[in-house]
Structure 1
Amino acid sequence: MGDSVASPLIWGITVIVAIAVFTVDLAIIGRRPHEPSMKEVSTHLAFFVGSAVVFGLALWAFAEPHELSKSPGPEFFAGWLTEYALSIDNLFIFIIIMASFNVPREFQQKALMIGIVLALIMRAIFIFLGAAAINQFSWVFYIFGAFLLWTAWKQARDHNDDDEAPEENKLAKFARTHLPSTTEWHGTKLTIKENGKRLITPMFLVILALGTTDLLFALDSIPAIYGITKDPYLVFTANLFALMGLRQLYFLIGGLLQRLIYLAYGIAFLLAFIGVKLILHAMHENELPFINGGEHIKWAPEIPIWLSLTVIVGTLAITAAASLYVSNKRDKENAESA
C-alpha cells in the first residue's frame, strides 16, 4: 500500500501525546466536575483548532508527497474539515441524549469526554480495518462510495423528521431493564455499591448511549475521509483533532446548533460529493472482471484535492450563512407578529 507520511516513531509520538492530552483532561474534569464558562470553552477550543491548523501547515510545508498521499497538507485540512462538519452534525444527537437522561450540566463534561475517548478508539479500529481492506481490495471503494451516496440520501430525506422524538438507544434500554441499576445520580460514578449489591448509575447508561451512537457515526465518517486521503495517519489525525475540540464545541454552540437549519443538507451534499469521488476513483483503479473486462476505466476523472477542499469549505460556508440568514429572518418576523 506504500509508505505513510508518518514513520512508526511519529505514529508512536502521536498516540502518546493524544493519550496524555485525554488523560490530563479526564483527570481535571474528574477532580472538579463543573459546567464550563464561555471563556473556558472558548480558550480550549481555540487551542485545539489552532493546534490542528499548525499541524496541517507543518504537513503542508514539510511532508513529502508519496504513494498514499499526493498532497499531505491539503488532504489533512480537507479530512479535518469533513470530520469536524460530521462531528458538529452529531452534536444534535448528543444534546438529545443528554436531555433524555436529564444529565446535570456539571456532569456533562465527563460524559462527553469518555464518549469521545470511546469514539476515538472505535474510529481507530475502523481506520486500520479500512486501510487493510483498501490494501487488499481496490474495489472496496465502490462499496464505500455507494454507502456514502445512500447515507447522503437518507440524511437529506430524514432531515424533516428531526423534530420527532428519537427512539431510545436499544443497548442502553437493555442495560437499564436487565442490569441492577439506580435512577439516582452519584456524581460521575459509573457504578455504586448499595446493600452489598453493585448497581449501574445513570452516568453508565449515558456513556453507553454515547459510545454506541459514536459507533454508528464512525460508519459514516471513516469511508468519507478515505475518499479524501488513503493515508491512515492523515485519517487518524484528522479524526483526532476533530474530536479533541468536540466537547468544548458542545457547550459553546449548543444553542446555535438549532439555528443551523440547513446543516443536514450541507452534510448530505458533502457525503454525496465524496461518494461520487470514491466511485470515480474505483473506476479509475478498476480490477473487477465484470466491469470493463477488469481493465482500468481511463476516462473516469480523478477529482483533485484542491477541488475537494474548495467544495468542502464552500459548502460549509454557504450552509452556515444561509442557515443563519433564514433563522434571523424568521426571528424578526416572529418578533414583529408577536
Structure 2
Amino acid sequence: MTVPFWLWLATIGGLLALIAVDLVIVDRKPHQVTTGEAARWVSFYVTCAVLFGIGVWFFGGHDSGVEFFTGYITEYSLSVDNLFIFMVIIASFRVPAIHQHRVLLIGILLALAMRGVFIAVGAALIATFVWVFFLFGAILVWTAVSMVRNTGAHEEYHENVVVRWVRKVFPVTDDYIGHKSFVKKDGKRWITPMFVVIVAIGSADLLFAVDSIPAIFGITQDAYLVFTANAFALMGLRQLYFLLGGLVTRLVYLSYGLAIILGFIGAKLFLHALHEYHVTPAWMEINNWMSLGVIVVVLTVTTLASLYKSRKDPGASGVNLELHASSPEERVEVERSETDRAEAGQPHDVR
C-alpha cells in the first residue's frame, strides 16, 4: 500500500491528539481508575482501531484491511500476555493506585517511540535482504518454545540491566513523592521510585518488541500498517490493564495459545522466504485470511479453555497479584507524608 508523507503526518498527529485527550481527561486529576471507566476507554480505543481498519480497507483495498486487522489482533493478544509482567512490576514497586495510570501511560509512550525505531530498521532490512525473513522466523519459533517451557516462571520481577544501571547512576528516594519523578533534596537532585518503575515498564516492553515486531512483519511488510497496528494496540493497553485486573492471571493457557500463534507466524515467514528464493511454489504460502482465521480460533479456544480451567480449579490461576498495589490506609499515609513534606518545604520539584 502506497502511503504519502502527508498521511504519515496526519496519522501521527491523530494518535498524538488521542493521547492528549487521554492526558487531559484521565490524568488531569490523579485517581484510582474504576472498572467502568476502564471499560469505556477500552471500548473507545477498540472502536478507533476498528474505524481506522475500515478506512484502510476502503482506501487501501481489502488485502491491506485484512493485514491491519490481523496485525492489530496479534499485537493486542501479545500485549495481554505482557500485562501480567506489568502487574508484577507495579506490585513489586508498590505503586500507589492513584498513580498507576500515569506510570503505564509514560512507560507505554516510551515503548511506542522505541518500537517506531525497531519498525523502521526492520522495514529497511526486509526491503533489502530476503534472509531477514529466516531470522525473524527463527526468533518467533525460539520465543514460542521459550513460552511453553517458561510458562508460570515469571511470577517475580527481577530488575533488568537498564533498571540496575539507573539505580547505580542516580540516587533514589525511599518513598514516592506524589507523581513526581525528580526532586531536589539537600541541594542534590534525586529520582523517585516513580521514575524507576517507568524505566522498568518501558525497558520490559522493549524486550517484548523482540517477538511482537517480527510477528507482525510476518503478517504484513507494510511499515505503515505495522506501525499503526502497534500504536493502537499499545494505546489501549493501559486501560485494558485496569479492566482485566486479576482476570489476566486466570488465562492459564494464554501463553500456550500465543506460542502456537508465534510458531505459526514463524512457519509463515519461513515459507515466504523459501518462495522468495524460488524454492517452494506460490500455493504453499499462507494467505492473510488463513492467518486471521488461525489467530482468532486459537485465541478463542485458549481463552475459553483458560476460563473453564480456572473456574473448575481456582488454584490453577497462578499467583494472586493485587492490581491496586496500595491499600486505602497506605494511600492516606502517603498523602499525609506528602503534605508534611510540602509544609516543611522539602523536597522541591525541579522539573
What is the TM-score when the length of structure 2 is the normalising length? 0.86
Deviation, structure 1 residue 299? 6.7
* Contact in 2 for aligned 1:5/1:64 (Cα 8 Å): no
Q: Does 1:201 align with 2:192?
A: yes
Q: Deviations over 1:101-124 (max 9, x none)?
A: 110010100000001101111111
Q: How do residues 29-40 of structure 1 correspond to structure 2 at under 5 angstroms?
A: 29-40=26-37
State which drifts further: 41-50 or 171-180: 171-180
Question: How big is the alpha-carbon RMSD for the aligned residues of Structure 1 and Structure 2?
Answer: 1.8
Alignment match, 2:11:
14
Letter of the 1:240 counterpart: A
In structure 1, the gaps of 5 or more residues are 66-70, 287-294
Alignment match, 1:63:
60
Alignment match, 2:295:
312
Q: Deviations over 1:232-252 (max 9, x none)?
A: 111011001101111110001
* Contact in 2 for aligned 1:22/1:117 (Cα 8 Å): no
**Alpha-carbon separation, structure 2, partners of 1:308 and 1:188:** 43
Alignment match, 1:225:
216
Letter of the 1:32 counterpart: K
Q: 1:137 aligns with which of 129, 135, 142?
A: 129
**Alpha-carbon separation, structure 2, partners of 1:211 and 1:24:** 22
Alignment match, 2:266:
275
* Contact in 2 for aligned 1:142/1:278 (Cα 8 Å): yes
What is the TM-score when the length of structure 1 is the normalising length? 0.90
Alignment match, 2:46:
49
* Contact in 2 for aligned 1:284/1:300 (Cα 8 Å): no
Alignment match, 1:182:
173
Deviation, structure 1 residue 31? 2.9
Identity of matched residues, %: 50
In structure 2, the gaps of 5 or more residues are 318-351
Alignment match, 2:80:
88
Runs of 4+ aligned structure 1 residues displaced above 6 Å come to none
* Contact in 1 for aligned 2:92/2:157 (Cα 8 Å): no
**Alpha-carbon separation, structure 2, partners of 1:319 and 1:73:** 25
**Alpha-carbon separation, structure 2, partners of 1:172 and 1:146:** 28
**Alpha-carbon separation, structure 1, partners of 2:316 and 2:12:** 51
Alignment match, 1:252:
243
Q: Deviations over 1:291-336 (max 9, x none)?
A: xxxx5433771101010000000011001000001111113999xx
Q: 2:205 aligns with which of 205, 214, 221?
A: 214
Letter of the 1:33 counterpart: P
**Alpha-carbon separation, structure 2, partners of 1:83 and 1:13:** 22
Taking structure 1 as reference, are residues 311 and 180 closer, same or farther at Cα in structure 2, changes over 3 Å only? same
Q: How do residues 315-330 of structure 1 correspond to structure 2 at under 5 angstroms?
A: 315-330=298-313
State which drifts further: 301-310 or 49-58: 49-58
Letter of the 1:249 counterpart: L
State which drifts further: 118-127 or 170-179: 170-179
Taking structure 1 as reference, are residues 198 and 332 closer, same or farther at Cα in structure 2, changes over 3 Å only? closer
Q: 1:103 aligns with which of 75, 92, 95?
A: 95
Deviation, structure 1 residue 144? 0.4
Q: Deviations over 1:158-185 (max 9, x none)?
A: 004244x232233223322442120111
**Alpha-carbon separation, structure 2, partners of 1:93 and 1:160:** 11
**Alpha-carbon separation, structure 1, partners of 2:280 and 2:128:** 19
**Alpha-carbon separation, structure 2, partners of 1:27 and 1:64:** 35
* Contact in 1 for aligned 2:89/2:157 (Cα 8 Å): no
